[in-house]
Chain A
Amino acid sequence: MAGVDWEKAYHDLENHIEAIMRETSELVNNASPKLKLNEVYITKTNTLDVIIDATGEKMEYAIDLIDRKGKMDTVKTGYQKSNTFSFDIPDGRYSITAYAKESQKDNSRVFEKTTVNFKRVFKDE
């Protein structure tokens, strides 16, 4: 059985790889970031403030806020362009589901669930 001319093949492939790398670089540089929910920041003042930190292309954000004791109706904000939410709500224990999606992609959505024990903090306190 005749053998493979590895040296010849290697030099051709090396030449080819340079072109592949150049195009991969173009792809990576022009690629949109992959949808990812990085962090949900919650701040308690006299309101409950939620900031959703996510990466992706043309993002929209939403929150579902559920009163664990069921005294208050569930708040569903619907998707909006701003990633910052402020809720003027009574003290209590709440479940928060934070959503992020790419507005131009139908099936893309990431979310994170968390609970918070909210007690209003006034500035003069």
Chain B
Amino acid sequence: MHKYLMICNAYPTLENLYANSFLHRRVKAYQQKGLDVDIVVITTKVLKDKYYDGVHIKYMDEYQIASFLKENDYSTVLFHFINQKMFYGINQLEEQERPNIVVWLHGFEAEAWHRRYYNFLESISQLDNALERKDTVFQPQKEFLQDIMTRKDVNIKFIYVSRRFKELYVDPYVGVVPDNYHIIHNIIDDELFQYHKKSADDRLKICTIRPFTAKNYANDITVDVIKQLSRKKYFHKLEFNIYGDGKLFNVLTNPLTQFDNVNLHKGFVKQNDIPEIHKNHGIYLGPSRHDSQGVSLGEAMSSGLVPVTNNIGGIPEFITHKETGMLASRDNVNEMVEHIEFIYKHARKFKKMSENAAESIKQQAGLDTVISKEIEVITNGWS
């Protein structure tokens, strides 16, 4: 029987349930399909093995990974958030001993550093620090990706989480496109985010569930949209619930405390609590400045909410304007307000969009769809 090894930068444990929890969702699904998958988390810390929900997790540095790969015969190694150190063990093997390799490209590990500008524009020193890292960290990572995308001595496939992520972010950054790649989206767990039919009144209930840790989450736009909507006659008929946590929460939401129909829920929202929130709302207001896919938008769609968001990054690959959601151009508050007004005025259209959104995202990124495609890539088509 073939054995598979996943090497990643973090994996959920009982102490840290939410570290890359989407990897665990995959591993459980692979196991259900009969794949035997071991997990290695790369770290320089000395940590004992852990077990989480039936999965054995080992912690190793790059040299331990190299020894481990020599001692164990894995048919395929799966990399998430890959970097040079993770790959060191593969390079230490003789060419004929090297396993097949699948590399998932999710986001930051395969994009130009300046695409995530919002992470270092809080202060001049943060910006200076990023510029320093440009040569020491980002450039080596780019060269590493160029290397593994072009070399012929490894049997390697790449998975991009969206086509637009590949074409707009990764391709121009790396400058080369690998021969063997697949577009497979992150899972939108339609078992957890089950569709609930929406009534016309649900369009009046608007929620957002976002981290308030960085500007890319564009919560400032959410606040501006609500402030602008407050000048509309129908504003008092709407209800807003804002969920999230982070250093920007109080600063950003403070102007909204004056509105009785805006409820602020500061705190981390557990994955399992989100479906209940979805059940009570009809619109998911989720502006964004940078997204390779927009998983939280997809989860809301799966539950039957109509997303109102921005036409940036990977998002339009999952949302068709006025069919499965509403798209505004980048940073455009006016358009977002118009979109919410459109939904307010077109109850029947809202209900149709809600159904379409759930159906479309399930087909595109539902659990079965994604896992079937991934297993096909992992187990078949190796030369």
Contacts and interface: CB of A to CB of B under 8 A. Distances in A.
Interface stretch (B115-123, B269-277, B298-306, B317-325): B115-123
Given A19-B330, A20-B114, A4 B124 contact: no
Interface string A2-23: 1111101110110110011001
B179 interface: yes
B55 interface: no
B127 interface: yes
A12 B124 contact: no
Nearest to B172: A9
Given A9-B168, A23-B118, 13 more contacts: A1-B178, A2-B179, A4-B175, A5-B167, A6-B172, A8-B168, A9-B171, A15-B330, A16-B330, A23-B121, A27-B122, A27-B127, A28-B124
Contacts of A28: 124
A4 B172 contact: yes
Nearest to B174: A4
A34 B124 contact: yes
The 7 A-B residue pairs whose C-beta atoms are closest, nearest first, are A9-B172, A4-B171, A12-B168, A20-B117, A2-B177, A27-B121, A31-B124
Contacts of A27: 121-124, 127
Interface string B169-192: 001100111110000000000000
A115 interface: no
Contacts of B171: 4-5, 9
A1 B177 contact: yes
Nearest to A30: B123
Contacts of B122: 27
Contacts of A2: 177, 179
A23 B117 contact: yes
Nearest to B177: A2
Contacts of A4: 171-172, 175-177
Contacts of B179: 1-2
Interface of B: 114-115, 117-118, 121-124, 127, 150, 167-168, 171-172, 175-179, 215, 289, 312, 330-331
Nearest to B329: A15
Contacts, number: 51
Contact of B289 (A19, A26, A31): A19
A8 B331 CA distance: 20
Interface of A (DSSP majority class): helix
A9 B166 CA distance: 10
A24 interface: yes
8 contacts: A2-B177, A4-B172, A8-B168, A16-B115, A19-B331, A23-B118, A23-B215, A34-B124
A32 B172 CA distance: 35
A16 B310 CA distance: 13
Nearest to A15: B330
A34 B312 CA distance: 35
Contacts of B331: 19
Interface string A40-63: 000000000000000000000000
A19 B289 CA distance: 9
Contact of B123 (A12, A15, A31): A31
Interface in A85-122: none
Contacts of A10: 172
Contacts of A23: 117-118, 121, 215
A44 B282 CA distance: 77
A9 B121 contact: no
A25 B124 CA distance: 11
Nearest to B124: A31
Nearest to A1: B179
A90 to B, nearest CB: 45
A31 B121 CA distance: 10
Nearest to B289: A19
A8 B178 contact: no
A24 B150 CA distance: 36
A15 B332 CA distance: 13
A15 to B, nearest CB: 6
Nearest to B164: A12
A12 to B, nearest CB: 4
Contacts of B168: 8-9, 12-13
B20 to A, nearest CB: 26
A24 B121 contact: yes
B200 to A, nearest CB: 36
B159 to A, nearest CB: 16
Nearest to A22: B331
